[in-house]
Structure 1
Amino acid sequence: MTADMSHGSESRRGERLKVAVIVASTREGRFAPTVARWFTELFSRRDDLDVDVIDLAEARLPDGLSEQRGPEVAGITPRLDAADAFVVVTPEYNHSFPATLKTAIDWHYAEWRAKPVGFVSYGGMAGGLRAVEQLRQVFAELHAVTVRDTVSFHGVWSCFDESGKLSDPTGPESAAKTMLDQLAWWGHTLRDGKTVRPYAA
């Protein structure tokens, strides 16, 4: 039996949150599309969230930072700005997260501010959780709020079959529901709060 991701009639269309799902890995042969595809398919079960997938492999952001934003950065900036919340899908590289993700984060500031961030991580024995620990510190510096619960895949290559389907979806779907519920609560709370009192950064 799979977890119920629906919130029923309590969510009205005008209250939906826009969630930007950021696919962090850009390496050749990456496993990221498999994990991201599984996760984004879960949004079809929710009537309170809309999804916008930002794949950094397609964004092709410049490696260095400068005062001039080129077309690659300009292409994702309005999408980040329009999001009410974020979910980062990230692997763990050498106990940390991909450099391309740090570049995407550092190209922006106000776009992250006073918004919630959730995480879907994957890797070997640690399941990408050490990357998430570091990302929590980075996003705190940008005045973003990271939700407590995460989705993590330990030994990710054995979790999915050749078609990209989870061999046992029960645990991951339950974890995803919890994380998205928390993300939605923070998303609504922060969005509504900013309409009453602007956030002071």
Structure 2
Amino acid sequence: MFIIRKRFLHLYLLVGICLKAGEPANSSKAAVEISLFKQTAQLNAASDFLPTMSNNSKINVPLLGGIAISCFIIWWKLHINRILEEGWNRWRSDLSLYELQQISEQQLYDELCESINLRYADYSVSEKRQRFLKETSNEITSLGNFVRWGSCLYNLKLGILFFISEKSIQMSKMGIKKLQYMRRVFVTLFQKKAKEL
């Protein structure tokens, strides 16, 4: 393709020179020939550059691919950090999962409903419940993916490159268990209250 493009450029310049040669001789003919000579030199330099660019692409494409993958992993880790800091898994972060399970389910349900009402104050009652269930489901999925892929990167000793530590993996595992427990309590007691009505 580059050879065809280079030959096309030479043909184009040759036609231009032939057309200019048919003009009557005047003082500007020398200027036109010098201008065409400069254009030819510039186009030759540009066409000579194109093949070397394709040879470098054998190195550049994998390099750019590696950079893109690294950027995605770092963005993903930042997303997980945001979930670990601001998500529903941080609800009652002063309590461990064991301590949370020691609280009666009714009390836990009431506290959870208060928190849901505060966080989703602008929504209707049914939308609050749906948003809570959707967000906790998304958190469980995201944290589960992080545990799976983060553990692989950590075990391959690549965790240090992407700021993945054993602590963040353990926090994600505990967050998943806590979210699953909260969802189970919320759905069970919500259905029980709906049947009573």
TM over 0.5: no
Bin of the TM-score, shorter chain as denominator length: under 0.3
Which of 1 and 2 has greater Rg? 2
TM-score by length of 1: 0.23
- Higher share of residues assigned helix: 2
Greater fraction of residues in strand:
1
